[in-house]
């Protein structure tokens, strides 16, 4: 099985079977705390950073670039954070988890905040993150789905989520 923040997409469904989701990629933007985001048009003339070859890159290219944002592509998310802090970037887009844990909760992240909406459009971010198993491996698929359902039903999922995150990572 593959348990590595793998988004469920139609393309991937042709190669593997997926469990029910265990969390959702909640794409967000980070900007200076006093700046607001009100839609793609509010990024006109701004520099939006994104890690190359990701769902986030596909999203910003299709939605922010036509609205007048300049898209800056990075090999790593940490490089985007460095440019944000130095003022060479106005807003990086990544998963809420990456932005929160990897930046906002660090010394570098002081003075910055998540802004605007959560982006969850299925054509870019899939239907959630799930465990992949070989096509037709119904035995393991059922075992894993039952385990995910049990964690959600008895409150253990919520307890784990609250321990590590300040927001709902399941996305419901």
Read off the pLDDT of residues 140-158 as tens digits, 9 standing for 90 and up.
999 999 999 999 999 999 9
Instruction: Give the residue from 83, 77, 35, 82 showing the smallest Cα distance to 56.
Output: 77
User: Looking at residue 52, what is its pLDDT?
Assistant: 97
- CATH superfamily entry for domain 27-124: Periplasmic binding protein-like II (3.40.190.10)
User: What are the tens digits of pLDDT across the range 9-47?
Assistant: 888 999 999 999 999 989 999 999 999 899 999 999 999
pLDDT at 117 over 90: no
What share of the chain has pLDDT > 70, as a percent? 100
Segments of the chain assigned to CATH 3.40.190.10 = 2-23+128-164, 27-124
Question: Domain 2-23+128-164, what architecture?
Answer: 3-Layer(aba) Sandwich (3.40)
Instruction: Give the residue from 109, 131, 128, 145 showing the smallest Cα distance to 30.
Output: 109
């Amino acid at each position: 099985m593959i348990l590595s923040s793998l988004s469920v997409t139609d393309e991937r469904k042709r190669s593997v079977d997926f469990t029910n989701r265990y969390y959702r990629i909640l794409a967000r933007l980070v900007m200076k705390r006093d700046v607001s985001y009100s839609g793609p048009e509010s990024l006109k003339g701004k520099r939006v950073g994104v890690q190359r070859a990701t769902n986030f890159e596909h999203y910003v290219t299709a939605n922010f670039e036509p609205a007048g944002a300049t898209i800056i592509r990075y090999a790593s998310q940490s490089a985007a954070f460095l440019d944000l802090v130095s003022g060479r970037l106005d807003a990086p887009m990544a998963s809420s988890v990456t932005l929160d844990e990897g930046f906002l909760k660090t010394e570098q992240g002081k003075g910055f905040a998540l802004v605007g909406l959560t982006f969850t459009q299925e054509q870019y971010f899939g239907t959630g993150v799930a465990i992949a198993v070989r096509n037709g491996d119904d035995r393991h698929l059922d075992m894993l789905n039952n385990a995910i359902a049990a964690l959600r039903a008895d409150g253990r999922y919520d307890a784990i989520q609250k321990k590590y995150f300040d927001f709902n990572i399941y996305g419901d």
